Each structure stands twice: as structure tokens, then as C-alpha cells.
Amino acid sequence: MNILECCSLNKIFQQGESAVYAVRDCNLKLTAGSFTVITGTSGSGKTTLLHLLAAFEKPTSGTVMIQNRDIYRLSEAELSNFRNTEIGFVFQSFHLLPILTAEENILMPGAIGKREVSKNYFWELCECLKISDRLHHLPRELSGGQQQRVAIARAMINRPKILFADEPTGNLDKNTAGELIDLLSVSNKRFGQTILIVTHDLGMTDIADAAYHMEDGILRRVK
């Protein structure tokens, strides 16, 4: 079953008198529970595509359907609620609130949406991501890899339909990045989480169910 489908998606930016296609006629389908990777160099359009799929930016043309809902036909209030409850997003730069502990950062989306979080799921998630012993630490007291794991737990705490990740290993050393990739693969299988990652790391395609490459705004399947 397809959980996400985008059709003829375009994003055009004007630079003076020139039109620049950041995303050009993109078509993509994600199966529920799948692990998908999109590779590409900086400036290829992959982050713009991810932002379009996650409803952070509006396309110039085309549609994005998530669970048969056209997300760009939602009102601003509906879209805000949709982002908080139906999708999770992991940023390259973590975006943890410095004055909150790891646990408080993780639970923040539930507090914003006034949703009760299962304690069992919370502990299972933290144990899966190997951060259960760091929950009372502030972000500055955590390593880069630990901060990224907290960010992933925060993105998953509301049990979103899809987890989007933008260069999740970009700020990590090689060993830590490898550990994080393995943990994402485990969480995908353990929780049935649909995951879409954009990255410049070609090695990440090895663990993916499906892989795409993006160049000059054009997406093509490679696996």
C-alpha cells in the first residue's frame, strides 16, 4: 500500500529573468513501512524535494498525497496539525532546545499537540536508539551522535506515518554515522516506520528498500 505519492511535482525559483527548476517533474511513491533513500550532491534539489513532501514548502505545480490526502488542499490550521501528528522530520543540525533535557525535547511534540504519549513506547524508543541513560542531560552535555538520536526520538514520539530525515549523518563522524544508520534501519523494522532520507552518502543505499538519485532537480530510481 502506498502511503505517499507525489505526481508531476515542480518547484521553480526565479533568479532575475531566469527560471531555475529546483525540482523538475518529480514522481515518487512510498510503500508503507519502507526505507527509502534519495542521494545527490549539494544543490541537486533533494532537500527542496524533502521540504515539499513534508509540507514545509509549497510546490509550483503538482500534488503530494499522504494517505490519500492532498496535503496542499489543507487549511493552514489543518496543515500545522498534520505536520505535528502525521509526519516526523529530522534536521541535519538537530534543532534541540538547549534549555530542555533530552527527555523534555523528545516529549515536546506530544505536549504541543496535547497528546498523551505511551510510557512503554517512549522507553522502547529510547532503548532502541540507545539514549535511555542520557534522558536527563541537556543537549550541550551530549555528543553529536546522541543529540541526533534524541532528535530522531522526538520526530518519532507521535508515531508519525512517515519519518523524513535531511542529511541525518551530515554532522557526524564516520563511525557515529554508521551506528546511526544501523539504528534507523532497526527502528524501521521494529516499529514499522516509513522512512525517507536524503543524503550525499551513497553507502546508505545498501540498507534501503528503494533508492533514488537526484541531479539538477530530476529524480531517477537506482534501486
Please answer whether residues 204 and 197 qualify as being in contact, where contact means their C-beta atoms are separated by less than 8 angstroms. yes
Question: And the C-alpha cell for 137?
Answer: 542531560
* Total domains in the fold of the chain: 1
What span, in angstroms and rounded, lies between the C-alpha atoms of 152 and 163? 9
Bigger pLDDT: 62 vs 115: 62
Percent of the chain with pLDDT over 90: 65
Q: For residue 177, what pLDDT band results from cuts at 50, 70 and 90?
A: confident
pLDDT, residue 17, reads 83
* Dihedral pair phi/psi, residue 136, rounded to 5°: -100, 10
- Is 172 domain-assigned? yes
Beta pairing partners, 5: 29, 65
Single pTM value for the model: 0.92
Task: With respect to residue 182, please indicate whether it lies within any of the assigned structural domains.
Answer: yes
Span 193-222, average pLDDT:
93
* Tens digits of residue pLDDT in 135-170: 999 999 999 999 999 999 999 998 888 999 999 888
The whole-chain average pLDDT of the chain stands at 92
pLDDT digits (tens, 9 = 90+) for 35-91: 999 999 989 999 999 999 999 999 999 999 999 999 999 998 898 888 888 899 998
pLDDT at 113 exceeding the cut of 80: no
The residue segments making up the domain with residue 109 are: 32-59+69-221
Q: How many CB atoms lie within 10 A of CB 93?
A: 12
In DSSP terms, which residues pair with 171 in a beta bridge? Answer: none
Alpha carbon distance 213, 93 (integer Å): 23
Separation between Cα atoms, residue 175 and residue 183, nearest integer Å: 13
Answer whether residue 159 is part of any domain.
Answer: yes
The domain spanning residue 173 has which CATH number?
A: 3.40.50.300
Residue 21 domain flag: no
**Alpha-carbon torsion (154, 150, 103, 117), positive or negative:** positive
Residue 213 lies in a domain: yes
Residue 23 lies in a domain: no
pLDDT bin (cut points 50, 70, 90) of residue 185 is confident
CA–CA gap between residue 213 and residue 67 (Å, rounded): 24
Q: What angle do CA 90, 95, 101 make, to 5 degrees?
A: 110
- For position 170, what pLDDT does the model report? 83
In a domain, 7, yes or no: no
Phi, psi of 204, deg, nearest 5: -70, -20
**pLDDT the model gives residue 187:** 83
Residue 195 predicted with pLDDT over 80: yes
User: Is 137 among the domain residues?
Assistant: yes
Q: Is the pLDDT of residue 7 over 90?
A: yes
